[in-house]
Structure 1
Amino acid sequence: MELINHNSCFSSVLACVFLTICYVGSLYVWRSKESRDHPSTIKKRCFSVFVMMLLAPIFTQYFLSDPSDIYEKMGLRETALFKALLLPLLLTATLFLGPLTMQFFSGGWWIYLEPMFWISCWQDLVWVRNHIMAPLSEEWVFRACMMPILLQCLSPMTAVFVGPILFGIAHFHHMLEQIKGGCEVKTALIISSFQFTYTTIFGAYSSYLFVISSPR
């Protein structure tokens, strides 16, 4: 008798909850008294999420009722590739049109043409974590690996909102670190609640892009 009903929405959502717990839990497998911005902490956590990025597709394959063409379902495909690249880029550029326009007219965008700017960025572990590892691992795990599991039993628009809620909840672990750093519980809760709100909204936007850029 099969222990897990792969066609069950409950099983699919539960699988995504478990994947969320594993992702967040991987950040805390290291025993350290250092802050999250300490170089050693950043290196260890980057390694943890890298391992999660390797394991997540295996997890996704197991919980898909039809694991054929798994990488295509995860967004790694040649079909409609131009659409998948161009449409999210245009929509996101439109979303940030205000700041982009201000930078253009102020001349601030010239800094991105300076090689030393990028060299200094790559030498800053906090920058690498915030701009490379965190976005890459989160989009891979919470979008590419999680959305196919949800889409097999939920409508696209429902999946667009269910997945991001888990994505937002995953950021509540920062509350513990803020309290540990001396922040009051009430203040930490307010900060984390705000972070939950905007990460959930962004997650919904990102998931929406994942759905509309799909060839199906």
Structure 2
Amino acid sequence: MEAMQNAAPAAAADFVPGEIFARLNGAMEKKGAAVGVCAMMAASYVAVLYLPAIFLRSPKSIREHMLRRFACAAVASALAPMLCYALLPDHPRWDSDPSIVLEIFGLRTHHLWQAIVLPCLLTGMLYLGPLVLAFLDLIEWCWAASHGGLIRQICSVVVVNGKNMASDVLVWRNCLVAPVSEELVFRACMVPLLLCGGFSTTATVFLCPMFFALAHLHHFGELITRQKQVISTAALIVGMQLGYTTVFGWYATFLYQRTGHLIAPIVAHIVCNIMGLPNVDEALASSHRRVLFVAYVVGLVGFFLVLGPLSDPRFFNEGGDSRGCDCWSGFCKWTAPQKL
């Protein structure tokens, strides 16, 4: 006891204000470096998309334009993980288990069905109103088509629409290229960098989407130059896009941190791209508007009620264990020397 009492004043004497500022400065440097790298990653992702416009002739069709974008997105999606891997601290398990490198980017096979089905259910609840409207429209169409061979007409519609979708580059962009490439760069790469830079999981949820939203600013120039929109209209459209992408980014980042699966935000991204913004005017003009109003309210309230339970990390990890960490895989508790 006497030894402890003698040691206490010495410890207090060593704890000087200079050390407090030094530690604070070091933490701020790491956070600043993480933000800087993420900003550079977002800027480079957009810059790579515009490389063909600098070095190649103008595309002859929207298909050629989109195929160039697909190739550029693939390049950007390959460069970002390499940069992230080079900057992250050495994981304690890398030497004994090299596969952890893939898991850091959310590329995991165990509990895969949960990572697909549960985010799909969650996102579907947000669109319960539009889904109910689509179902009611489908019932009316089936009733009208039942007098002329329902099965034959359904098969015909499915075949025609399937062929059109398979050959539509915009469908490929919305349902594959954009969700995979954007979630890999803006979630799988940026979340570990921000967490290892010293940001909390909550701060990361709100900070990470800022880069995702800013990466969509280039649409402003495209609206003015390609679509000949006036500045006020272009600003309104882009402003709505920024708001929508920011809110979705919060949700996607939350899903990625909770599940540790890249496929989770990808599934949510695909569903949101397919559904788009809910058409409230169409719902108000529908003869089923009371039913739709209830569906919108139930879906929105239900989403927030089950968001936490359905994204519980115990659903997505071996043995129901989230590894004793606030974020999956322990990004925020790595003790190795930081490269950031």
Above 0.5 in TM-score? yes
For the Cα contact (< 8 Å) 1:80–1:213, is it kept in 2? no
1:211 is aligned to 257
Q: Which amino acid aligns with 1:123?
A: S
Residue of structure 1 aligned with 2:176, choices 128, 132, 136: 132
Q: Give CA-to-partner distance per residue, 1:57-77, whole Å, 9 cap, x none.
A: 111101212354232122112
Tell me the residue number matched to 1:58: 82
Q: Name the SS of the counterpart of 2:51 in structure 1.
A: coil
Task: State the partner residue of 1:30.
Answer: 52
| In structure 2, C-alpha distance between the alignment counterparts of 1:158 and 1:81, rounded to whole Å | 27
Aligned Cα RMSD in Å? 2.5
Match of 1:146 among 175, 179, 190: 190
> Looking at CA atoms only, which structure, 1 or 2, has the larger radius of gyration?
2
- Tell me which of 35, 42, 54 is aligned to 1:13: 35
**Paired residue for 2:119?**
88
Structure 1 Cα separation of the partners of residues 138 and 245 of structure 2: 30
Q: Using the alignment, how far apart are the partners of 1:56 and 1:92 within structure 2?
A: 27
Q: Report Cα offsets for 1:173-208 as digits up to 9, x if no partner.
A: 000011113211222122111111111111111111
SS class of match (1:146): helix
Distance 2:247 2:58 in 1: 32
Q: Which AA in structure 1 matches 2:32?
A: F
> Are 1:74 and 2:105 counterparts?
yes
| 57-66 vs 110-119, which moves further | 110-119
Q: 1:161 aligns with which of 206, 209, 223?
A: 206
How many residues end up aligned between the 2 structures?
Answer: 210
* Aligned equivalents of 1:41, 1:106: Cα separation in 2: 35
Between 1:111-120 and 1:176-185, the stretch displaced more is: 111-120
Tell me the secondary structure at the aligned position of residue 179 of structure 1: helix
Aligned match of 1:101 in 128, 132, 140?
A: 132
CA distance, structure 1, for counterparts of residue 164 and residue 239 of structure 2: 33
Normalised TM-score (structure 2): 0.57
Equivalent position amino acid for 2:70 in 1: C
User: Normalising to structure 1: TM-score of the pair?
Assistant: 0.86
CA distance in 2, matches of 1:84, 1:160: 18
Deviations 1:35-77 (A, max 9, x none): 9x72221111110001112222111101212354232122112
One-letter amino acid of the counterpart of residue 185, structure 2? V
Q: Which moved more, 1:66-75 or 1:134-143?
A: 66-75
Determine the structure 2 residue equivalent to 1:174.
219
For 1:104 and 1:70, locate their aligned partners in 2 and report how far apart those are by CA, in whole Å.
Answer: 43
Moved more, 179-188 or 73-82: 73-82
CA displacement at 1:151 relative to structure 2: 2.0
State the SS of the aligned residue for 1:129: helix
Q: Percent identity?
A: 34
Which amino acid letter does the alignment assign opposite residue 162 of structure 1?
L
Deviations 1:66-110 (A, max 9, x none): 354232122112444344333312211211122222222321799
Q: Kindly tell me: are residues 157 and 80 of structure 1, through their superposed partners in 2, closer, same or farther at Cα, counting changes over 3 Å?
A: farther
For residues 253 and 188 of structure 2, the distance between their equivalents in structure 1, rounded to whole angstroms, comes to 9
Contact 1:15 1:63 in 2 (8 A): no
Deviations 1:136-180 (A, max 9, x none): 211111112221111222111111111101100110100001111
Q: Which runs of 5+ in 1 are unaligned?
A: none
